[in-house]
Structure 1
Amino acid sequence: MSRSRIPGAIGALAVATLALTACQAPPEAPGSTDTAAAGSDYLACMVANSGNIQDRSFNQAVFESLEAAQAEYGVDMRETVSQSQADYETNLETMVGEGCDYIVTVGWELADATRASAEANPDITYSIVDEVVDGPNVASIVHDTAQAAFLAGYLAAGVSETGVVGTFGGGNQPPVTVFMDGFAAGVEQYNTTKGASVRVVGWDPETQQGSFTDDFTNTNAAQTTAQGLISQGADIIMPVAAQAGEGAAAAALAAGDVGIIWVDSDGYELLGEEYRPLLVTTVEKRMEPAILGVIGSDISGTFEAGNNVGTLENDGVGLSSFHDWDAKIPAELKMEVEALKAKIISGEIVVESPSSPTGAN
Structure 2
Amino acid sequence: MTLMNSLLAGTALIALASGAAMADPALIYDLGGKFDKSFNEAAYAGAKRWTEETGGSYKELEMQSEAQREQALRRLAETGANPIVMTGFAFSDVLTKIAPDYPDTKFAIIDMVVDQPNVQSVVFAEEQGSYLAGVMAAMKSQSDVVGFIGGMDIPLIHKFECGYAQGFKAVKPEGKVLVNYTGTTPAAWNDPVKGGELAKAQKSQGADVIYAAAGGTGIGVLQAAADLGILSIGVDSNQNHLHPGQVLTSMVKRVDNAVYDAFMAGTDLEPGVRVMDLKAEGVGVAIDDNNKDLVTPEIQAAVDEAAAKIGSGEIMVHDYMTDSSCPVE
Identify the TM-score tier after normalising by the shorter chain. Answer: 0.7 to 0.9
The counterpart of 1:319, out of the listed 285, 291, 306, is: 285
Q: Which residue of 2 aligns with 1:109?
A: 90
- Which residue of 315, 321, 331 maps to 2:297? 331
| 1:212-256 Cα deviation digits (max 9, x unpaired) | 344111111111011111110111001111111111122112212
Paired letter, 2:131: F
Q: 1:113 corresponds to which letter in structure 2?
A: V
**What CA deviation, in whole Å up to 9, does each residue of 1:81-126 have, x standing for no partner?**
2222211101111212332111111111110111222111011110
Aligned position for 1:198 = 175
Alpha-carbon shift at residue 165 of structure 1 (Å): 0.5
Shift of 1:187: 0.8
Q: 1:253 to 1:328 in 2, by over 3 A?
A: closer
CA 199–114 in structure 1, closer or farther in 2 if over 3 Å, else same: same
Name structure 1 gaps, 5 residues minimum. 1-39, 203-209
SS in 1 for 2:292: helix
* Equivalence for 1:118: 99
Aligned-residue offset at 1:265: 0.6
Which residues of 2 match residues 115-264 of structure 1 at below 5 A?
115-192=96-173, 197-202=174-179, 210-214=180-184, 215-256=188-229, 258-264=230-236
Q: Deviations over 1:152-201 (max 9, x none)?
A: 10110100111110001111113322111100011111125xxxx22111
What TM-score does the superposition give when structure 1 sets the normalisation length?
A: 0.79
* Corresponding letter in the other structure for 1:347: G
* Alignment-derived partner of residue 62 in structure 2: 81
Q: Which runs of 5+ in 2 are unaligned?
A: 1-20, 324-329
Aligned to 1:37: none
- The change in CA–CA distance for 1:322 and 1:238 in structure 2 (over 3 A counts) is farther
Q: Percent identity of the aligned residues?
A: 30
Alpha-carbon offset, residue 356 of structure 1: 6.2
Displacement of 1:322: 4.8
Shift of 1:354: 2.1
Name the Cα RMSD after superposition: 1.8
- The change in CA–CA distance for 1:291 and 1:245 in structure 2 (over 3 A counts) is same
Greater relative contact order structure (CA < 8 Å, 6+ sep): 1
Aligned equivalent of 2:264, options 286, 293, 296: 296
Residue of structure 2 equivalent to 1:346: 312
Displacement of 1:150 in angstroms is 0.3
Given that 1:151 and 1:341 are in contact with CA atoms closer than 8 Å, whether structure 2 keeps it comes out as yes
User: Which secondary structure state, in structure 2, belongs to the residue aligned with residue 280 of structure 1?
Assistant: strand
Counterpart CA distance in 1 for 2:52 and 2:148 is 36
TM-score, normalized by length of structure 2? 0.86
Moved over 6 A (4+): none
CA 1:252–1:316: 2 relative to 1, 3 Å: same
- Please name the residue that 2:237 is paired with: 265
Distance 2:89 2:77 in 1: 20
TM-fit CA distance, 1:67: 1.5
Q: Which amino acid aligns with 2:182?
A: F
Aligned to 2:7: none
Secondary structure at 2:25 match in 1: strand
User: Structure 2 counterpart of 1:79, which letter?
Assistant: E
Q: Which amino acid aligns with 1:315?
A: E
Give the aligned partner of residue 287 of structure 1. 255
Distance 1:67 1:325 in 2: 26
Q: Which residue of the partner structure matches residue 91 of structure 1?
A: 72
